[in-house]
Amino acid sequence: MNHPEMPSLDGFLAIYDIRDDDGWRTANRHRDYWGKTHTRVHYLEENVVVLAFRPAPDCRWQAWEGVRRRWILKQLALKLESEGA
């Protein structure tokens, strides 16, 4: 049962351009943040990877997953801003 003030976290996707070391390191760091058990890696092309982050089946992890999700999304947003996209 979810806490009334804490909505259920669904999984989310992130796309990484891994043509350079920075993109590759970022994807690996984000996979490490979330945990390899609940992250699926999908290669779209030779230089493009999608990470599918899935929530743990145990709802006690929801608060911590929310923190990690914010870390990942914030880093991706900052990267886009720095690239002028």
Q: What are 46-75's pLDDT values in tens digits?
A: 999 999 999 999 999 999 999 999 999 999
pLDDT on residue 25: 96
Percentage of residues of the chain with pLDDT beyond 90: 78
Q: Which amino acid is at 24?
A: W
Q: Which amino acid is at 70?
A: R
Give the C-alpha separation, 54 to 13, whole Å. 9
Q: What are phi and psi of 43, to 5 degrees?
A: -95, 120
What is the pLDDT averaged over residues 22-31?
A: 96
pTM of the model: 0.81
Q: What are 36-53's pLDDT values in tens digits?
A: 999 999 999 999 999 999
Q: What are phi and psi of 12, to 5 degrees?
A: -150, 165
